[in-house]
């Protein structure tokens, strides 16, 4: 891979997708779409994570089994492969599957920012909902190398179209399909964007609670602040007790806000489960209410 000066445009239909060099010494790059940051990666230190929400997901991955032990990990949405690179650095040889909608963008990103030698990261191109809808044992749900989306220990749901998450990958029906492809004690991490009064995030938490026995919300701002900002909300879900709840210290300091059990029930406050029939896209960050 050759370092490029400052910025390189990548193929993505009529949209502006770019890789921008942020730090030459650390070979740190930002992938953006229409000027909206999607991923930041460091080729020299994949353990260095830019955004707090990514660090929260990484800490939960760290807690899923003994240090260094390979984990079957699935990433719905690729970006610049920040978390696949992290998993490979911390758990070498982990079998990882990426489901990605944009093959040209993915190929161009990977050409510019190749994965480390020895990585077991395979890709299945297609719409994540369409792939999830396929029977679990269907050969069509298999990557080119034979990697199947099944028995995932960790599934990261980070399905952004620039700044929007579409309703078809945020519904009860979708999450049931994700659950069917997870290990019995597998963990789902869903990255959302929302702000007070958190109508969207509360519906998402209610939906995941319908599918999974244990759900926790983690965010880096006050979840009851009526004038709080728009920001990332991570929802963790599993049929096994969550490390985010049993070991809250794993997130380090300053500790993020965490909601689970009765506190999460109070925060959800009767928000409706989101289905294919009545779902909604995530909030528009350009809406004036966030100003």
Task: Identify the H or E element spanning 132.
Answer: helix 128-133
pLDDT of residue 20: 87
pLDDT of residue 1: 46
Regions of the chain with pLDDT less than 50 = 1-2, 139-140
Domains delineated in the chain: 52-280 (3.40.50.150)
Distance CA 277, CA 284 (A): 20
Q: What is the pLDDT of residues 45-70, one digit of tens each?
A: 999 999 999 999 999 999 998 999 99
pLDDT of residue 212: 98
- The radius of gyration computed from the CA coordinates of the chain, to the nearest angstrom, equals 18
pLDDT of residue 265: 98
Contact at 8 Å (CB) between 108 and 8?
no
DSSP state of 218: E
pLDDT of residue 88: 97
Contact at 8 Å (CB) between 91 and 69?
yes
pLDDT of residue 72: 96
């Amino acid at each position: 891979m050759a370092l490029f000066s400052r910025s390189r445009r990548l193929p993505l239909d009529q949209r502006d997708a770019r890789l921008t060099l942020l730090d030459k010494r650390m070979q740190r790059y930002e992938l953006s779409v229409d000027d909206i940051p999607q991923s930041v990666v460091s080729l020299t230190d994949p353990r260095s994570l830019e955004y707090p929400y990514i660090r929260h997901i990484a800490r939960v991955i760290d807690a899923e089994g003994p240090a260094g032990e390979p984990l079957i990990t699935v990433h719905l949405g690729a970006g610049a492969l920040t978390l696949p690179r992290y998993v490979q650095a911390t758990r070498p040889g982990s079998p990882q599957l990426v489901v990605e909608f944009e093959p040209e963008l993915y190929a161009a990103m990977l050409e510019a920012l190749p994965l480390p030698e020895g990585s077991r990261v395979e890709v299945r191109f297609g719409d994540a909902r369409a792939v999830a809808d396929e029977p679990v044992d269907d050969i069509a749900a298999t990557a080119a190398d034979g990697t199947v989306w099944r028995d995932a220990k960790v599934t990261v749901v980070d399905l952004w179209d620039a700044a929007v998450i579409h309703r078809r990958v945020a519904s009860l029906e979708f999450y049931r399909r994700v659950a069917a492809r997870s290990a019995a004690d597998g963990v789902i991490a869903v990255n959302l964007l929302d702000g007070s009064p958190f109508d969207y995030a509360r519906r998402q938490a209610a939906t995941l609670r319908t599918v999974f026995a244990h759900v926790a919300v983690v965010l880096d701002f006050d979840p009851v602040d009526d004038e709080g900002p728009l920001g990332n909300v991570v929802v963790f879900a599993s049929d096994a007790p969550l490390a985010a709840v049993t070991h809250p210290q794993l997130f380090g300091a300053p500790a993020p806000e965490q909601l689970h059990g009765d506190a999460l029930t109070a925060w959800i406050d009767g928000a409706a489960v989101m289905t294919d029939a009545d779902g909604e896209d995530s909030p528009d960050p350009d809406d004036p209410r966030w100003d």
